Structure 1
Amino acid sequence: MAPRVCASPVDPVLELLQRRPELVVHALHRLLGWELEQPARAELVDVGDTQLHAHGHEWAADLAFALHRIGGPSTWLAVVVPPAREEQARAYLWPCYAALLGLRRGGPAGLLAIVGDEDVAWARQTVACGFGALTFTPLVVTRAALLALGEDA
């Protein structure tokens, strides 16, 4: 059984990121305001590193990236592009994608959600994982901003 993913495989945002992985670094810097300590490059990695089996289904993020910092350690980023609000995915699957990616790749990992303007506040909500002591907050950018960034960069 093929893993279920959040977005359609012909989604223009996914196609853009597959073709130009460096846009992930630009999105972190220009759209989210991250001050990158040193030059970094992004590289697609096996999305299977986010895969999990739950309730008789296989689940995986849409894309996964290694963020290599020159002279520094790599970090990892799972990417989801949900076509609609998926409360259960945001609350349960998204934290798992990041945790599994970090565990399987051996380093810190996060999750980037790419959503429509109307879903930014929903996607940015912090999820309480385990009695509120452990929390997870996705990074969020809009589809339009990422597509515009692709045209500019």
Structure 2
Amino acid sequence: MHAPRLFENDESVRRIGEGLLDHSLPKAEWTHEAHIAASFWLVAERPDIDVDAEIAEIISGYNVATGGVNDDANGYHDTITRCFLAGVRAHAMLALGGTLADRVNALLESEAGRRDWPLRFYSRERLFSVEARRGYVEPDLRPLP
């Protein structure tokens, strides 16, 4: 199992989220942990952003701005993103105490923060299909939380 890289403080989490929004986050720092931290920050601290309506555009725009592409094999993956968002939201409802970094780190150390967490809900074939990358598909193993 891969040990997650944890965040030292609230500012390090906010820097990731703000860097995603304004495209200033270096591409090398757009890691799994950064995806989780940015998602948690958006849900917990940015009520002005409709995450469900805007997340595809936010991440796709960041990918392009940092030299990436969003196609059938690379870039934004809608189903994986929305699966992790379900885990982020479930964790946010339970993790009401502590600092922002504490809550993000607890999420990263939980089942929902694991890189392979979506495979609890999706078969590998379904999750990694072009259809799942391009748009949300329902789980085929069990419902999301």
Same fold (TM over 0.5): no
Higher relative contact order (CA 8 A, sep 6+): 2
**What is the TM-score normalised by the length of structure 2?**
0.30
Q: Which has the higher strand share?
A: 1
